[in-house]
């Protein structure tokens, strides 16, 4: 379905390389793309194109016999099957398509290496979740199907230009003959295909459920993804019957250390960098020095995807793969991971605050945008978890430059109010006081001067009760801003004078800001 660009690129790769491997996670469509490439190219080879499905083999099983069977080699000699295959192919001109190599990599690599060395007229196309790692191997990563943005407006008639939607509609009509995307269901169809990551196998399993529910109902129950998507073609390999079985297969091919890291990486809601993976995932026997190698191995096995942003390399998992890993964490490990994840991004946010007034400010703005999904996940977990409210307050406060500089005032205020709402039984905390002056600042920038004044009054009460000059300094500073915003410069001058004195008492670097504001107020015409 679609795949015009991928077909063109894969064909070109096969044409210039004797060994091409289509890589990607299970269910992304490697097999179907490989079959289509073989069909398009079979007339280019004197002896055609031949497909060998290795999926029925157990790990470690020899592959030469199944290749010999697929090629209809009639060899009655006592030589080994590998020799029989290589002898048969040595004068042939054909394309050999070996599908599902990942669980028999050693045997596949040996056969491919021998064939390439002895049969100059043979080209080989393979599919695997990780490369064969042979000399001259060209690797073509198969991407998921294109999906429309859920935020954009789309005309119904234009949606099928997106390959995931086209596949969904085509398969849906096999289940519900008159299925069509309509203005009423288009949002659900778009979100469904997007939440399934544009993965062809996931989409096909989802469509099978349209016999008993609407698209909207299916979307509503997508959180139970693996149970709902349990019906597939009865003629498919057993591992393809459900997404659960499919990913089970990938998981079982990983070493114990790879499995542990796969589980722990599920804590990241989106992309992440090496440093975060090392810091968060290294505990209980998994040391930081192992993480990079394990990440590389998971990338090679298509469990992880990589993204490049300039010189930076980031990693991510498809949602389906991430949820699978999360399901294998016990409660204790999941809690430990969430806390380590929160602590990592809390430290990063507080470092941004500490170095905000430096030449690195632009770098920190970009970093905050990149890490936004991680920061929000950490904040959400901290607010919702008993005993973590002080850390939640610290994180919400440390993200203040992100709220303000990137225009997330409403979201910042929402989270700050959520944090403050959890402090009913412990109001006299410095963390609460800090959240009060930050939400006051945000409220003032939103033009909600009345709420800003109320927050500042409560912040002053907390600062006084705690005898905290640093907290009092911030209260006076933003009270000065309140005076400016409400046109009361006399009041602003008084508050900035108090802020200067309080900042000086604690040696706070904000004192120059207050002095500048004070001069501006005094000399304002």
Is the pLDDT score of 308 beyond 90? no
More confident residue, 525 or 168: 168
Among 218-227, 231-240, 296-305, whose mean pLDDT is lowest? 231-240
Q: Is the pLDDT of residue 233 over 70?
A: no
The pTM of this model reads 0.69
**Tokens found for residue 226:** 């693996």
Averaged pLDDT for residues 434-461: 94
Q: Which two tokens stand for residue 260?
A: 């542990």
Give 358-407 pLDDT, tens digit per residue: 899 999 999 998 998 899 889 989 999 999 999 999 999 999 999 998 88
Share of the chain above pLDDT 70, in %: 90
- Give CB contacts under 8 A, 24+ apart, made by 256-262: 257/286, 257/290, 257/294, 258/294, 258/297, 258/298, 258/301, 258/303, 259/328, 260/285, 260/286, 261/286, 261/291, 261/294, 261/295, 261/298, 262/298, 262/303, 262/321, 262/325
Q: What is the pLDDT of residue 359?
A: 92
Residue 154 pLDDT > 70: yes
Q: State the pLDDT at residue 241.
A: 46
Tell me the mean pLDDT in the region 319-327: 84
Residue 223 pLDDT: 60
Q: At what angle do helices 81-89 and 105-118 cross, to 10 degrees?
A: 40
Percent of the chain clearing pLDDT 90 (strictly above)? 52
């Amino acid at each position: 379905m679609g795949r015009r660009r991928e077909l063109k690129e894969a064909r070109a790769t096969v044409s210039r390389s004797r060994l091409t491997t289509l890589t990607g996670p299970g269910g992304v469509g490697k097999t179907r793309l490989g079959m289509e490439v073989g069909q398009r190219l079979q007339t280019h080879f004197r002896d055609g194109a031949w497909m060998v499905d290795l999926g029925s083999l157990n790990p470690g099983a020899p592959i030469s016999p199944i290749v010999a069977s697929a090629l209809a080699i009639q060899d009655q000699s006592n030589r080994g099957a590998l020799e029989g295959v290589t002898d048969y192919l040595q004068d042939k001109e054909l394309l050999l398509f070996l599908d599902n190599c990942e669980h028999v990599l050693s045997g596949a690599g040996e056969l491919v290496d021998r064939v390439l060395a002895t049969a100059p007229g043979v080209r080989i196309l393979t599919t695997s979740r990780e490369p064969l790692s042979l000399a001259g191997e060209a690797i073509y990563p198969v991407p998921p199907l294109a999906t429309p943005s859920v935020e954009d407006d789309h005309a119904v008639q234009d949606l099928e230009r997106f390959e995931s939607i086209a596949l969904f509609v085509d398969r849906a009509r096999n289940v519900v003959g008159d299925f069509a995307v309509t203005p009423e269901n288009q949002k659900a169809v778009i979100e469904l295909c997007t939440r399934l990551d544009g993965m062809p196998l996931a989409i096909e399993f989802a469509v099978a459920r349209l016999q008993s529910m609407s698209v909207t109902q299916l979307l509503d129950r997508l959180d139970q993804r693996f149970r709902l998507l349990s019906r597939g073609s009865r003629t498919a390999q057993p591992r393809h019957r459900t997404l659960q079985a499919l990913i089970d297969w990938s998981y079982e091919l990983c070493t114990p250390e790879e499995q542990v890291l796969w589980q722990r990486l599920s804590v990241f809601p989106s992309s992440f960098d090496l440093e975060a993976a090392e810091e968060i995932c290294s505990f209980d026997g998994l040391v930081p020095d192992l993480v990079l190698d394990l990440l590389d191995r998971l990338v090679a096995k298509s469990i992880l995807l990589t993204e490049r942003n300039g010189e930076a390399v980031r990693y991510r998992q498809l949602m389906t793969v991430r949820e699978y890993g999360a399901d294998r964490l016990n409660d204790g490990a999941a809690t430990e991971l969430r806390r380590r994840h929160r602590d990592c991004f809390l430290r990063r946010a507080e470092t941004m605050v500490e170095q905000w007034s430096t030449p690195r400010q632009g770098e920190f703005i970009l970093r905050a945008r990149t890490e936004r999904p991680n920061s929000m996940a950490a904040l959400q977990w901290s607010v919702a978890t008993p005993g973590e409210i002080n850390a939640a307050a610290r994180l919400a406060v440390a993200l203040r430059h992100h709220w303000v500089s990137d225009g997330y005032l409403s979201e910042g205020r929402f989270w700050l109010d959520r944090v403050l709402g959890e402090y009913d039984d412990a109001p006299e905390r410095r963390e609460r006081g800090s959240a009060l002056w930050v939400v006051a600042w945000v409220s003032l920038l939103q033009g909600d001067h009345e709420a800003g004044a109320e927050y500042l009054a409560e912040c002053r009460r907390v600062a006084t009760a705690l005898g905290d000059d640093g907290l009092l300094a911030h209260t006076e500073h933003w009270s000065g801003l309140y005076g400016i915003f409400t046109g009361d410069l006399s009041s602003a001058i008084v508050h900035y004078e108090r802020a200067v004195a309080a900042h000086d008492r604690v040696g706070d670097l904000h004192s120059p800001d207050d002095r500048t504001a004070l001069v501006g107020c005094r000399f304002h015409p």
